[in-house]
Structure 1
Amino acid sequence: MKLFAPLYARAIAWSRHKRAPTLLGVLSFAEAIIFPIMPEIMLAPMCLAQPKRGFRFASISLASSLLGAVIGYLLGHYAYELVRPALDGLGWLEHIDAEVMRLREITAQSPWKAFWLLVIGGFAPIPMKVFTWASGVVGVPMLPFLLSMAIGRGKRVYLLALAIRLGGERAERALQRWIEPIGWVALLLLVGIVVWLLLPGAAA
């Protein structure tokens, strides 16, 4: 049964829509604040559909992510205690609290040590909101915070656009050929992680 090939074809069709850049910007903005889906999910098919505009799409995603990061930072700084129950209900509170403790210790030593930690965090496949909220709670200085987010997230989106631009039609053909096994492996990994998290004592 083919499941992911039709979804991939639909994503490519949506990525050619005239409003796709706007939707990419909205997704990137929301992901930096609260939305759980990373913008690369939309950026990749957009770059595949129009490789020559890939860097423009990456710039839209980065600029929107940075704007969202500022909002997430401010919410973390001024409204964290108010939204703790909601974050706990979403299952994010433990991760954000852990990042807050780590950032607080590092920032006390040097704001620029926190900068390098955030650069690594921005490049890692971890939801950006964890770092934006934690940085606001700790009070990481705004300049190191914005620079770290720009470098960390910028590397991700521009490297993706570059890889697709260099790969061109070969990258698209390869993805079309392997989309089903890639999709099923990713789904099985996701199910495995969810089951592991739900097992008694998994969080211990």
Structure 2
Amino acid sequence: MFQSLIDGLKEFGEWGLFIHSFIDAIIFPVPAFFTQVSLSMLNPSAALWLATVGFVACLLGTPFGYWIGKALGHSLLYKFLKKEWVDSAEKMFQKNGETAILIGSFTPIPFKVFTIMAGCLNFSLWRLIAYAAIGRAVKFYVIGILFYLYGRAAENMVKDVSLYIFAAAIPLVLIFLWVRKKQRAKRKAVSVIEDPVQDVKENM
């Protein structure tokens, strides 16, 4: 059934990719990767434009997946899981959600898993969009660049592209999070120092 839907979307060219990428971020279980690759093979010179279409559509669809999770998520989660488990998972996602979203953007796992989960667990929508933009841009444009440079020969290269991107991205994500953690700790330390000084000034 899904294959026939994907084949139908391909008939609409870039608009089919737009629709597929949009609903990929909301509910459709098959990643837009397959439509992007198929259309890029047909017209490698348009591969970068197709990457842009898919990327923009994914970002536009992300808030809808988030709102679905926010509206229905907790009731569904509480139906199948203990409340304390859900509450604990929410705290963990709030603390490490950036890692989940960035890494999830590179994997073959349908992206709506992360958009809906972010809504379920009250992760910041703007942070979701920001980190999704980073991760999804890498995935869409790596495929686009490969087809643009190598034409149809890139078909064999992109079969394992998610694995390669994932392997390369993990160290970068960890470095990014480590730097961000250091910056937060530094700002917190400065704030702790400045507060007593401000109190002294106010009491003078």
Instruction: Check the 8 A contact 1:99/1:130 in 2, yes or no.
Output: no
Query: Are 2:134 and 1:134 equivalent residues in the alignment?
Result: no
**Structure 1 stretches lacking a partner, 5+ long:** 1-6, 180-204
Q: TM-score, normalised by structure 1?
A: 0.63
Query: Are 2:26 and 1:39 equivalent residues in the alignment?
Result: no
Query: Which has the greater radius of gyration?
Result: 2
What does 1:144-163 correspond to in 2, within 5 Å? Answer: 144-163=127-146
Given residue 147 of structure 1, which amino acid in structure 2 is its aligned partner?
A: A
Which residue number in structure 2 is paired with residue 21 of structure 1?
14
Q: Whose RCO is larger (CA < 8 A, sep 6+)?
A: 1
What does 1:93-172 correspond to in 2, within 5 Å? Answer: 102=89, 104-107=91-94, 109=95, 113-171=96-154
- Which digits, 9 at most, give the CA deviation of each residue in 1:124-175, with x for residues without a partner? 1111111001100111112211011111122111111111122224336x69
Which residue number in structure 1 is paired with residue 176 of structure 2?
none
Q: TM-score, normalised by structure 2?
A: 0.63
Query: Are 2:67 and 1:74 equivalent residues in the alignment?
Result: yes
Query: Runs of 4 or more off by more than 4 Å in structure 1?
Result: 98-103
The alpha carbon displacement at 1:103 in A equals 5.4
Given residue 58 of structure 1, which amino acid in structure 2 is its aligned partner?
A: A
- Which digits, 9 at most, give the CA deviation of each residue in 1:44-84, with x for residues without a partner? 011111112111111111111112111010111122256x3
What does 1:169-180 correspond to in 2, within 5 Å? Answer: 169-171=152-154
The alpha carbon displacement at 1:42 in A equals 0.7
Percent of pairs identical after alignment? 24
Structure 1 residue corresponding to 2:46, chosen from 45, 50, 53: 53
